[in-house]
Amino acid sequence: MTTGPTSGGRRSRTGTPPGDAPRRTSPAPHGRRPREKAAGGESLVGSEWTVEVGPIAHGGHCVARHEGQVLFVRHALPGETVVARVTEGRVGDRFVRADAVSVLSASPERVTPPCPYAAPGLCGGCDFQHVSLPYQRQLKASVVREQFSRLAGLDVDPAVRAVPGDTDGLRWRTRVEFAVDQDGRAGLRAHRSRAIIPVDDCLIATHGVIDSGVLDTEWTGVESVDVVDAAHPEEPVLVPVPGPEGSDGSGGLVGELVTDGDWSGEYVVAARGFWQVHPGAASTFLSRVTALLGAEPGDRVLDLYAGSGLFTVRLGELVAPGGFVLGVEGDARAVDNGTRNTEHLDNVEWRANRVDREVRSLVDQQITADLVVLDPPRTGAGKDVMALVAALGPRRVVYVACDPAALARDVRAASEHGYRLASLEAWDAFPMTHHVESIAVLEPASE
């Protein structure tokens, strides 16, 4: 495959706090500051209403109504009757946000949250600690179904599968960003807030993260601390982040180990660069992507949003001899690491470029690809990229997504250019949170 010129870049992928999906790009650390309206109706914050809770919605909350007002309620479950206290919203808003502060009629799937900080007004990282683990996965599956029905016009019914490597949904997060308060104490942010909640443990973080001492250390002059519990080095890496102008954001390099059946590979990645945070996720997704893609010797493969080469390395070996893999990634530092990870393969090429620009260059040169892998940011690839991918004429596209809404929109966009959804599976790479990983296979509709 001959490729076009390089230029530009894409947002760096960094580690994120517990509960926020780590994939592709990072949200503000552990929640966002609630938006303030310059004008509007009377504030409803603090109002308490007794409501019957409706279905789960995308985002970790359930939908309820009170006298015509729509509420997005956290810490609730479908079918419950709760007292909901408004946390954001004004009279006349299309919806308000609320917490279930009292449960009058509980769901049989409700459990006591294992973490004392998983409660209204406290840590915003986990959405579902009050939910039995099997039912968490049922809720996530219902969200995937609803998003595909509403946004793609498709009926899907994927069971959300467990990713091996956690302990009953806990102790799985290998990368955590802790915020630091004015006293130099590391903690976690409240939901949709900059407020920092002091904690003495985080139950979804690995033991290595907590045993690093991050919560027992006084951090002076920094706004956050990233803790990275990678395969190498043996001790977790702590990266103080003094501020946007005080750090290059990388935190140095760490090593990760990945398997695909009998195959194993070692990867070098930036400590604060993108990598799957669940210890079983990278291997699980690599195995699924290679199985679903069906790469063969001689195939020309395009790996888009390739990061540091999780898929690129394995694909380079699978298509040899005679095949070729092009990895495209907007983060130049990730491309440097990807180049290092694939230096033993002479059939792999890298481009540090925005995906849309690079693929457009390929299309303009009338270059085609046999197979395409997409692993985009949470916002998805977008309709322009999906149109360009279709123009390459691949026999199969495997799309890895951390947001079912973005995936559904992109599947719909692909259908407008002759590609159909051939299969869809979902994985619980973020237990106790609302996030769900999906892997979709797209094929030409004519086939």
> What CATH number should be reported for the domain holding residue 355?
3.40.50.150
DSSP label at residue 41: S
Predicted confidence at residue 5, as pLDDT, reads: 31
Closest alpha carbon to 441 in 156, 22, 21: 156
Domain shared by 398 and 359, yes or no: yes
Tokens of 29: 């650390």
Closest alpha carbon to 265 in 256, 273, 274: 256
* Burial tier of 186 (Cβ tally within 10 Å: 0-12, 13-18, 19+): buried
Domain shared by 336 and 291, yes or no: yes
Domain shared by 418 and 322, yes or no: yes
Number of domains in the chain: 2
Q: How far apart are CA 85 and CA 131, in angstroms?
A: 20
**By the 8 A CB rule, do 55 and 62 touch?**
yes
Has residue 282 been placed in a domain?
A: yes
276 is in an annotated binding site: yes
Domain shared by 153 and 112, yes or no: no
Which stretches of 353-413 are assigned E, i.e. beta strand?
371-374, 396-401
> What CATH number should be reported for the domain holding residue 54?
2.40.50.140
Tokens 């106790």 identify what position?
432
Closest alpha carbon to 309 in 272, 280, 277, 352: 352
Tokens of 232: 């190498």
305 is in an annotated binding site: yes
375 is in an annotated binding site: yes
Q: How far apart are CA 404 and CA 141, in angstroms?
A: 10
pLDDT digits over 125-138, tens only?
999 999 999 999 99
pLDDT digits over 295-326, tens only?
999 999 999 999 999 999 999 999 999 999 99
Domain shared by 308 and 396, yes or no: yes
Q: How far apart are CA 296 and CA 330, in angstroms?
A: 27
Which residue, 64, 90, 123, sits at the end of a domain? 123
Has residue 176 been placed in a domain?
A: no
Residues carrying an active site annotation: 402
Domain shared by 347 and 404, yes or no: yes
Predicted confidence at residue 248, as pLDDT, reads: 56
Residue 438 to residues 93, 374, 402, 408, 434, Cα–Cα distance (Å): 32, 12, 6, 10, 13
Predicted confidence at residue 247, as pLDDT, reads: 55
**By the 8 A CB rule, do 34 and 54 touch?**
no
**By the 8 A CB rule, do 380 and 401 touch?**
yes
Domain shared by 110 and 68, yes or no: yes
Structural domain that includes position 311: 139-171+249-444
Tokens of 440: 């979709």
Q: How far apart are CA 206 and CA 175, in angstroms?
A: 9
Predicted confidence at residue 20, as pLDDT, reads: 61
DSSP label at residue 236: P
Segment holding 86, helix H or strand E: strand 81-88
Predicted confidence at residue 286, as pLDDT, reads: 98
Domain shared by 353 and 397, yes or no: yes
Q: How far apart are CA 256 and CA 266, in angstroms?
A: 6
Domain shared by 368 and 424, yes or no: yes
Domain shared by 397 and 306, yes or no: yes
Segment holding 254, helix H or strand E: strand 253-260
Is the whole model's pTM more than 0.75, yes or no?
yes
Count of residues making up the chain: 447
Has residue 199 been placed in a domain?
A: no
Domain shared by 339 and 257, yes or no: yes
Which residue, 96, 123, 150, sits at the end of a domain? 123
* Burial tier of 158 (Cβ tally within 10 Å: 0-12, 13-18, 19+): buried
Segment holding 438, helix H or strand E: strand 437-444
**By the 8 A CB rule, do 252 and 241 touch?**
no
Task: Count each helix (H run) and each strand (E run) in the chain, helices first.
Answer: 8, 20
Q: Which residues of 339-365 are buried (b: 16+ CB within 10 A; e: fewer)?
A: bebbeebebbbbbbbbbbbbbbbbbee
Predicted confidence pLDDT, tens digits, the chain (447 residues): 433 333 333 333 323 446 665 444 433 333 444 454 445 799 999 999 999 999 999 999 999 999 999 999 999 999 999 999 999 999 999 999 999 999 999 999 999 999 999 999 999 999 999 999 999 999 999 999 999 999 999 999 999 999 999 999 999 999 999 999 999 999 999 999 999 999 999 999 999 999 999 999 999 999 999 999 999 999 999 999 986 554 555 679 999 999 999 999 999 999 999 999 999 999 999 999 999 999 999 999 999 999 999 999 999 999 999 999 999 999 999 999 999 999 999 999 999 999 999 999 999 999 999 999 999 999 999 999 999 999 999 999 999 999 999 999 999 999 999 999 999 999 999 999 999 999 999 999 986
Domain shared by 60 and 164, yes or no: no
226 is in an annotated binding site: no
